[in-house]
């Protein structure tokens, strides 16, 4: 019989979490869960209702009957907000900042974490986020904390936008967005961005994607 594995990948924006986690999930044929997309969907709902994403009281109410679903279609993760596929609507700068704001609210986090743990209880997963190793899956098989310098992370995100044809956001804008979220995510009281004591920290500033993936696959072999 095969044992269920869970791999937690945490770290700040642009460290390479989702890129690496997706590749690990393909290699190991296990489910990938992008937990950031869930907070982004909550932010989108708030923005649509003209709710200030820092209004804790209104957000606590908003998530009471929110329906966030993650479906895997053709090896791709799609995120559904109250039945609507919002996958292509949650990558804007406004939603990024909004996600970081709604993620401060304990009621929002508890609701998301419930969904995340439910998925991990049924399938082997590789999950990326900010609090996976410290809070969501404290008993994960392997915990990775990915980092890279702020300059490198901003450059990566900026290049990604250029590839998508987005040219109205400067490198400075991208850097400021990341700095705001890093600070906000690390300083919140409940389940902040932090390295778990038993996580392996990888500084990827000077590593290629392939090097990072191979390093993690090696660590998985050692532990599983
Ligand atoms: O999920 P997270 O915000 O941590 O990062 P991401 O969305 O995976 O974005 C990282 C970007 O940097 C992607 O465009 C990758 O192709 C690139 N990259 C990387 O992920 N890892 C490296 N070692 C080098 C580049
Ligand atoms: O891809 P990127 O690193 O830019 O962001 P993301 O992973 O999509 O997450 C967006 C925001 O959601 C983060 O800035 C965090 O504030 C929040 N988040 C969180 O609080 N906990 C998680 N497990 C995942 C995301």
Domain boundaries, the chain: 6-210
Residues with CB under 6 A from ligand 2: 13, 18, 35-37, 39-40, 96, 99-100, 103, 129-132, 181, 185
C-beta separation of 107 from 63 below 8 A: yes
- Does the pLDDT at position 224 exceed 70? no
Q: Which residue has the tokens 């899956």?
A: 137
At the second CATH level, the architecture of 6-210 is: 3-Layer(aba) Sandwich (3.40)
Q: What is the mean pLDDT of the chain?
A: 95
| For the chain, percent of residues with pLDDT exceeding 70 | 99
Ligand 1 touching residue 161 (CB < 6 A): no
Q: Decide if pLDDT at 75 tops 90.
A: no
- Ligand 2 centroid from CA 165, angstroms: 23
How many degrees, rounded to 5, is the angle at CA 180 between CA 196 and CA 198? 5
Does the ipTM surpass 0.90? Answer: yes
pLDDT at 176 over 80: yes
pLDDT in tens, 136-174: 999 999 999 999 999 999 999 999 999 989 888 999 999
pLDDT at 73: 85
Q: Are the C-beta atoms of residues 109 and 14 closer than 8 Å to each other?
A: no
Above 80 in pLDDT, residue 1? no
pLDDT confidence of residue 2: 60
Q: Count, in order, helices (H) and strands (E) of the chain.
A: 8, 8
* Residue 196: both structure tokens together: 């778990």
Give dist(CA 212, CA 35) in Å, integer.
20
Say if residue 42's pLDDT is above 60: yes
How far is ligand 2, taken at its centre, from the CA of residue 193, in Å? 9
pLDDT for 106 equals 97
Atom 20 of ligand 2: nearest residue by CA position: 103
The residues, ordered by sequence, that sit 6+ positions from 53 with a Cβ below 8 Å of its Cβ are: 43, 46, 47, 59, 97, 98, 101, 102
Query: How far is the first Cα of the chain from the last one, in angstroms, to the nearest whole number?
Result: 14
């Amino acid at each position: 019989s095969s044992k269920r594995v869970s791999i937690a990948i945490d770290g700040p924006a642009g460290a390479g979490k989702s890129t690496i986690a997706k590749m690990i999930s393909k290699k190991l044929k296990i489910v990938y869960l992008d937990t950031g997309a869930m907070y982004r969907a909550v932010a989108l709902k708030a923005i649509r209702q003209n709710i200030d994403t820092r209004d804790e009281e209104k957000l606590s109410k908003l998530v009471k009957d929110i329906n966030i679903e993650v479906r895997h279609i053709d090896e791709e993760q799609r995120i559904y907000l109250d039945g609507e596929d919002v996958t292509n609507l949650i990558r804007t700068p406004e939603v990024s900042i909004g996600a970081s704001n709604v993620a401060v609210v304990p009621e929002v986090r508890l609701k998301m974490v419930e969904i995340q743990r439910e998925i991990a209880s049924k399938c082997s997963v590789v999950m990326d986020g900010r609090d996976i190793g410290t809070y969501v899956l404290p008993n994960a098989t392997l915990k990775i904390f990915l980092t890279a310098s702020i300059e490198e992370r901003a450059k990566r995100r900026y290049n990604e936008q250029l590839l998508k044809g987005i040219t109205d956001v400067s490198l400075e804008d991208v850097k400021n967005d990341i700095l705001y979220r890093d600070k906000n995510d690390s300083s919140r009281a409940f389940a902040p961005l932090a390295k778990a004591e038993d996580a392996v920290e990888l500084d990827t500033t000077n590593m290629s994607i392939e090097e990072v993936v191979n390093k993690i696959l090696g660590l998985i072999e050692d532990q599983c």
